[in-house]
Amino acid sequence: MDIGIVIVAAGRGERAGSAEGPKQYRRIGGSAVIAHTLKAFLDWSKAGPIVVVIHPDDKLLFEEAVSGLATERVSTVTGGATRQQSVLAGLQAVAALDATHVMIHDGARPFVDRALLDRISARLEAGDDAVLPALPVTDTLKRGTEGRVIETVSREGLYAAQTPQSFRLATILEAHRRAAAESRSDFTDDCSIAEWAGVPVAIVEGSPDNVKLTVRRDITMADERLSAAAL
């Protein structure tokens, strides 16, 4: 089994405050967010070719961000206007390299760890075509509108989805191409596309540390966490 890696990092990260630049290039613990994310995969022995999907304006930012890493196995490709389009660009690039399977990861999740990658790859090795890392929802959930609660929603059987969502490459590439051909552009993750295409999706336990940095505060907290760990 050859596992290609697609890291999507072509977003503008506007929710994290665009004045400071795209969030994947903000520094946490002394390095860019994307450098931490990429290093996690470079350090994982089962990772094959790695494709990072970047915004066309970010080429220099990316080169600077990863300049201290051994990037011989890493190539870049230009992303699209939506995450879904960026993933498809990455999948097409990884399909031209040596890979039978693929892990699709958000560049904005720098704390992905080897134990999680091993749990996922074990399920791919066991023959699952699609694997979702996820954690059961622990908060009490409310449906509301205009600042008022309508009802409490049962959290029974609900999971919060993480990445890397991982697949047999031919399966997810075909599902993505079909979604694009049918002008379905409303998918926010890749397992939703697999579900839509009728592919069964296995769930493995996610990691509580594997958070996505979305708003400015997430980046500050990630920086504090790495600085505390370095003491």
The torsion angles phi and psi of 123, rounded to 5 degrees, stand at -70, -35
Which residues fall within 8 angstroms of residue 154, CB to CB, at 6 or more apart?
A: 141
Measured from the CB atom, is 24 or 128 closer to ligand C5P?
Answer: 24
**Cross-strand partners of 220:** none
CA–CA gap between residue 85 and residue 10 (Å, rounded): 10
Measured from the CB atom, is 36 or 128 closer to ligand C5P?
Answer: 36
Measured from the CB atom, is 128 or 179 closer to ligand C5P?
Answer: 179
**Least distance CB 217 / ligand C5P (angstroms):** 14
From the list 116, 126, 108, 105, the residue with the least C-alpha distance to 5 is 105
Measured from the CB atom, is 106 or 128 closer to ligand C5P?
Answer: 106
Contact (CB, 8 A) for 60 and 50: no
Measured from each CB, the residue nearest to ligand C5P is: 11
CA–CA gap between residue 221 and residue 33 (Å, rounded): 12
Amino acid identity for residue 164 in this structure: P
**Least distance CB 101 / ligand C5P (angstroms):** 20
Measured from the CB atom, is 33 or 128 closer to ligand C5P?
Answer: 33
**Least distance CB 110 / ligand C5P (angstroms):** 10
The token pair at 127 is: 């023959």
**Least distance CB 222 / ligand C5P (angstroms):** 14
**Least distance CB 150 / ligand C5P (angstroms):** 26
Measured from the CB atom, is 75 or 214 closer to ligand C5P?
Answer: 214
Binding site for ligand C5P (CB under 6 A): 8-11, 24, 53, 79-83, 86, 106-108, 212, 214
Q: What is the per-residue burial (b if ≥16 Cβ within 10 Å, else e) of 8-39?
A: bbbbebeebeeeeebbbbbebbebbbbbbbbb
Which residues fall within 8 angstroms of residue 96, CB to CB, at 6 or more apart?
A: none
Contact (CB, 8 A) for 43 and 138: no
**Least distance CB 118 / ligand C5P (angstroms):** 22
